Amino acid sequence: MLNAENEINQAKLENSPEKPSGPENVTEYTQEDASVPGSSGAKPTAEDSGEIPADNGGSLQAVLHSLPQAELRLLCSLLAHDGLSDNAYLLVAEVLKKIVALAPFFCCHFINELAHSMQNLTLCAMKELHMYEDSEKAILSTSSANGTAILRVVQALSSLVTSLQERKDPELFAEKDHSGAVSQISEINTSLDALWLELSNCISKIESSSEHTSNLGPTSSNATTVSTGVAPPLPAGTQNILPYIESFFVTCEKLRPGQPDAVQEASTSDMEDASTSSGGQKSSASHTNLDEKHSAFVKFSEKHRRLLNAFIRQNPGLLEKSFSLMLKIPRLIDFDNKRAYFRSKIKHQHDHHHSPVRISVRRAYILEDSYNQLRMRSPQDLKGRLTVHFQGEEGIDAGGLTREWYQLLSRVIFDKGALLFTTVGNDLTFQPNPNSVYQTEHLSYFKFVGRVVGKALFDAQLLDVHFTRSFYKHILGAKVTYHDIEAIDPAYYRNLKWMLENDISDVLDLTFSMDADEEKLILYEKAEVTDCELIPGGRTIRVTEENKHEYVDRVAEHRLTTAIRPQINAFMEGFNELIPRELISIFNDKEFELLISGLPDIDLDDLKANTEYSGYSIASPVIQWFWEIVQGFSKEDKARFLQFVTGTSKVPLEGFSALQGISGPQRFQIHKAYGSTNHLPSAHTCFNQLDLPEYTSKDQLQERLLLAIHEANEGFGFG
């Protein structure tokens, strides 16, 4: 603290035309007892000695009013001053906050002073960015002080603007001062437009460089990208422009441009309308919709999405700080960065101490045993590390048994015999069964399933299941549309699409109701159904050219939501106990499927590249045969093989380099098994390890390996 004080005092002396005659310094303003000193040379008062009564507000205000204007100007100028330590800058910002907290009338004064500092900094920054734009070598060989100074000033301004918003009492702010501060903020935003344009041009120069392009990540803004390795280093010198980008984001979020009430909070919630394609919920009707095409933030972020995401890969913490505005429009964030943000939030909860969750189940009754042992646990209990024991087996769970438990349990849950879920469309995707009522305590089971899916996400485990797009949207809190019917009933979807694209006047004879035959399509196995009104009195309301869009929306809501609303609600009750909706709302339905189920295909080249050997080498004949045999497996046998050696048939999103073992990442291992070649290959799923005898021929290896993955892929023991 003393070092910071000395730096500030030295900077004051350097910037002041006259040395202060009194002993006071800026740090006195931070004292918790609010004993703020008077001007230089003033006689000591009771307030200076800390003897201010709690109710003596008038005396305190008088002292604060007497603070020297020159000193206050110097205090603000320190934020734009180069060469102080981080501690000194933090101290200055804290002093400004505390002075404003004690004397709100200084807020407008500080805004004016910082606005003046911003004018000078902007001129220097424009020259600096223009230099970067003109000469690629310049950005590689220099460091930026202007960008950092602008960021400090912008952050201080945003804090003061917040104070101005919260304190609108005319007794605290003279109307002239208040309007002057508002005008200053508006002028700052206008003057910064040229700087942001220069910043954009500079970034474009970096992004267009062939030398740098490969380090900036994916080029497509629509593809769901899965990162399979460590983020590549950013182009040298690129960090110089990061403070400018952070300043731009803070300005967009805190200093709303182009409005008379320029100091009102930025309408970030309005931007949620732009994120409906990413799974975000629409903002409330009380907010004016934001036209993305005219939003400086959205246009900038879309144009430079690759570099912004490259910065986030290098420093994920940016999303929780200066880049947090991007979370309001999550489609601007690449999937791997969303996943890293999600995992960091979950890890924060994992870091808190939770007792282990131990369960003991019978394989033949895995659903019933798991349900009975987990349904009564509290949400906090479920955040503990899960360990599984299969009754009658000697295996000790070091991770492999838990992975197998998730796989086996998910298969039973989604089996048609359980009556909880049903397949639709291509019979490969699931959604709640409208007739689950025939299952005893079916809603309690749906809450349990929600807990299991939430726990799998919490533990970064993958499930062997794929839901319908509409059900993913229900989990994410996104609106379902008639387009989601296509995956369930393609023919019906085409009919609805034709209705919307053509004039149906005097063509279709429909009412706002579903007849019994249509209800049977929705309720599947249920035999006795009646027609259903989509709106009150719907049987008597005809569908016309004018109301056909409402009809299609009502049909989609009925088919995809209303018929299974109780099941959805029960599932979400269990799921949200572990995973808050706001945390997953950054994903769209396709990304969320990847998060739950992992990669759809097994990349054997990736597995081979991430395999370690003991007793063998990559050139060993048995190893050569092994990879040739596995390469020729059917898709089903590849999944069985992966289940056999790792305990799960799902591929981690980061690829096989991210396989988890007993104590963290553990690559696939092939160990030589010494002894008789009559033995089958064996696996240790907790270590992702395959023990492979040195068979005498390729045919013998293939026969033994297939037998192992088909007949011995469940159960754990020693020996």
- Residue in the block written with tokens 């025939």: 438
Return the beta strands (E) in 452-533 as ranges. Answer: 513-514, 532-533
Cβ(324)–Cβ(316) below 8 Å: no
Whether the CB-CB separation of 224 and 335 falls below 8 Å is answered with yes
* Cα gap 76→113, rounded to integer Å: 6
Token output for 213: 């392009």
First-residue to last-residue Cα distance in the chain:
64
What size, in residues, is the chain? 719
DSSP E strand boundaries for 299-390: 357-361, 386-390
Q: What is the largest CA-CA distance in the chain?
A: 101
CA–CA gap between residue 351 and residue 492 (Å, rounded): 49
Reading the block at residue 83, the tokens are 């060469």
Q: Is 81 helix (H, G, I), strand (E, B) or coil?
A: coil
76 given a catalytic annotation: no
Q: What share of the chain is helix, strand, coil (3-state, %, to 5)?
A: 55, 5, 35
If phi > 0 it is left, if psi is from -120 to 50 it is alpha, else beta; for residue 265 that is beta
- Whose tokens are 């945003």? That residue is 158
Distance CA 409, CA 388 (A): 12
DSSP class of residue 479 equals: P
Residues 6+ apart with CB under 8 A from 531: 513, 514, 515, 516, 519, 539
Helix or strand or coil: residue 296?
helix
Secondary structure class of 509 (helix, strand, coil): coil
473 burial via Cβ count (<10 Å: 0-12, 13-18, 19+): buried
| DSSP code, position 651 | B
- In DSSP terms, which residues pair with 689 in a beta bridge? 669, 684
Alpha-carbon span 249 to 518, nearest angstrom:
51
User: What is the token pair recorded at 189?
Assistant: 């935003």
Q: What's the CA angle centered on 571, arms 568 and 572, to 5 degrees?
A: 85
CA–CA gap between residue 121 and residue 108 (Å, rounded): 20
From the candidates 107, 202, 252, 686, give the one annotated as an active-site residue.
Answer: 686
Tokens representing 571 are: 């599932």
Which of 718, 661, 672 has its CA nearest to residue 695?
672
Secondary element (H or E) of residue 430: strand 429-432
Task: Mention every residue, 6+ apart, whose C-beta is less than 8 A from residue 495.
Answer: none
Token representation of residue 165: 């918003």
Contact 614, 672 (CB under 8 A): yes
Q: Is 162 left (phi over 0), alpha (psi -120 to 50) or beta?
A: alpha
Which residues are tagged catalytic?
Answer: 686
